[in-house]
Chains A and B, each alone.
Chain A
Amino acid sequence: MAKKSWFLPAILGIVAIAFPPLLGGYFQHVLILMMMWIAMATGWNLLGGYCGQASLGSAAFFGLGAYGAGLLYLHWGISPWWGMIAGPLLAIIVGISIGLITFRLRGGYFTLSMLAVCEAMRIVFLNWVEVTNGPVGVLFPRTWGDQKLPYYYMVLAIAALSLYVVYRLMKSKLGYYFVSIREDQDAAEGLGIPSTKYKIYALIPSAGIIGLAGAFYMNYMAFIEPNVVFPLIISAQMILTVMLGGPGTFWGPALGATIFVLLSELLRAFAGPVIGTVHYLLFALILVLVIMFLPNGIIGDWDKVKGAFRRKKPAYVGGE
């Protein structure tokens, strides 16, 4: 847990707060997506990167957060803004029940079992029409109409909150225990660490943050349906952003999310009109290359990244 230089983040923070009002609606939208993915990636990284339990079903928390907000409106006419509390709460409660069962599995089994959970949830939400409205989804008139700026500051706060929560957790006893479980679960047990309990402790903030992003999504997009919030591609993108930036690092997820969103919009703008979904294909390819050649992400494998740019020096250092 090395010391961090706060200069660059501070500058970025000031830019993030001061510049957006100067930009157009489209760019504000991109920034909103960026902040949302920063929060989601950071949340996933807590359970996946730091604690080593890589879940392929974290879209479940996103969807639960979104529906937690949406269903309040659908059934009781309550503003989905209350969902900013209800959504994460729902994600956490369901998450704990899921975790108590799936944490019995390790490694790849756990990863895939979380996908199974998320898929089951998607199917249930699609079919349980009385409760969730099924494929029709939940529609809600947007609070701030066409304005993007208020949403931006809201999601910026969420991203900042998620970074802060992860920062404090990793400095505490919980952080040490999470990494111990990742490094060697059996050794950790031998040190008195009840691994299932602490995996749940990692799951709670992770599900909460991702759920909060989901609740925000409901309020911002004003429309959700099961195939939008629960599909594999959302879970996979959470993993992609973290793997790209650096799993188990603090800034890795944020870096990965930023690159992901920017690249995504660039590709959509240029290649979109030509071949509809080609940017997803490019992402999958990038993910493959990243895992093969930079398996610890840009930040985790920073030495490799630096090495690629260094010009080769002559072998002997003797004279000139």
Chain B
Amino acid sequence: MAQFGQTVICGLLIGGVYAVIAIGMTLILGVMKIINIGHGHLMMVAMYVCFALFASLGLHPYIGMLVAMPCLFAIGYLLQRYSIHRVRFVDTILPQTQVLLTLALGLVFVELIRVIFKSDYRSAYTPFSSKCLYIGGMSISLPQLVSFGIAMAFVAGLHILLTRTDFGRSIRATAQDLDAAKYMGVDALRVSSLTFGLGMALAAAGGALLLPIFYLFPDIGTPFTIKALIITILGGAGSTVGALSGGLVFGMAESLGAVYWAPGYKDVVGFVIFIIILLFMPGGLKTVIKR
């Protein structure tokens, strides 16, 4: 019983961080109407930034996060403004040109990191990384607990941003109806660039929070992009609440899969969820909750 509780809690904690990453993707999806295939790869860049700070200055990833987030925000802003936006209105044979560009940009960063850092596995292991909390026979990883707390703080902060600020309102307006928003004076390019930056910053936060838990290597991004996509679909595209609930559910499912099925197949759990959603719930959790 304790093992079950521990598994579920562990899953929830990681799910919270997944949720932050997925919210980044769903924001971008809502405003720019594209799937950012480079999402996980740019998260990986943030992780390397944190790692570099850790390796050279001994800065804990939670501190490094404060550097990585603005970095990724800037990168995201510049990428959207000067690259991705350029192909938005071009008439091409393949309709998914923008999406493929996000892939290409992501790959540039992957290979850049690989040239700089090589493909070796890195880690940012500190004495804190193995500290545990013992409650009722369950052992809960302290770093995961802290990460979860920070992740929820970000989600709350984002909620305030989206509902109480003008910028947040511009984002929601652009996501709902681009033309109407433009007529209201919203600068679409500025909003989409800032949103892309914001989405990348959230991914950076997620990456930094995951760094103490995972080994780092250049190709680590791909599974996370996929997880973010599955969570986005699970929660309903464009819905931040959906991404949050989807992330928590996803984390729990993965954790249960790792413990009760097989550890090596943990990443396949997400895939199974994906197939189930596609077959039975195309609208995502959102439609289920609404009913």
Contact = CB atoms under 8 A, between A and B. Distances in A.
Interface string A45-60: 0001100101010000
B102 to A, nearest CB: 9
Interface in A33-67: 48-49, 52, 54, 56
Nearest to B112: A281
Nearest to B264: A127
Contact of A101 (B233, B262, B279): B279
Interface string A176-190: 000000100000000
Interface in B47-103: 83, 86-87, 90, 92-97, 99-101, 103
A288 B83 contact: yes
Tell me the interface secondary structure of chain B in the complex.
helix
B94 A248 contact: yes
B239 to A, nearest CB: 15
Contacts of B229: 109, 112-113, 116
Contacts, number: 136
A277 interface: yes
B107 A236 contact: yes
A295 B98 CA distance: 10
Contact of B97 (A56, A119, A232, A291): A291
Interface residues of A, number: 50
A52 B95 contact: yes
A150 interface: no
A288 to B, nearest CB: 4
A101 B275 CA distance: 7
B68 to A, nearest CB: 21
Given A292-B86, A296-B93, A116 B101 contact: no
Given A119-B222, A291-B100, A284 B107 contact: yes
A112 B38 CA distance: 11
A276 interface: yes
Nearest to B29: A108
Interface string A112-134: 11011101100110110000000
Contacts of A108: 34-35, 37, 96, 99
Contacts of B222: 115, 119, 232
A104 interface: yes
Contact of B94 (A49, A104, A275, A283): A49
A112 B111 contact: no
B278 A281 contact: no
Given A102-B278, A288-B101, A280 B114 contact: yes
Interface in B255-287: 262, 264-265, 267-268, 270-271, 274-275, 278-279, 282
Contacts of B94: 48-49, 52, 54, 243, 247-248, 295
Contacts of B230: 116
A287 interface: yes
A105 B115 CA distance: 35
A115 B224 CA distance: 12
A222 B107 CA distance: 29
Contacts of A275: 115
A277 B111 contact: yes
Contacts of B90: 295
Contacts of B110: 284
Contacts of B146: none
B195 interface: no
Nearest to A281: B111
A304 to B, nearest CB: 11
Interface of B: 34-35, 37, 83, 86-87, 90, 92-97, 99-101, 103-105, 107-108, 110-112, 114-115, 118, 219, 222-223, 225-226, 229-230, 233, 262, 264-265, 267-268, 270-271, 274-275, 278-279, 282
The 4 closest A-B pairs by CB, nearest first: A108-B35, A281-B111, A120-B271, A108-B99
29 contacts: A48-B94, A49-B94, A56-B103, A104-B278, A108-B35, A109-B229, A111-B100, A112-B35, A112-B37, A112-B99, A112-B225, A112-B229, A113-B274, A119-B226, A123-B268, A127-B262, A182-B95, A232-B219, A247-B93, A248-B94, A276-B118, A277-B111, A277-B114, A278-B111, A284-B107, A285-B108, A291-B87, A295-B97, A296-B93
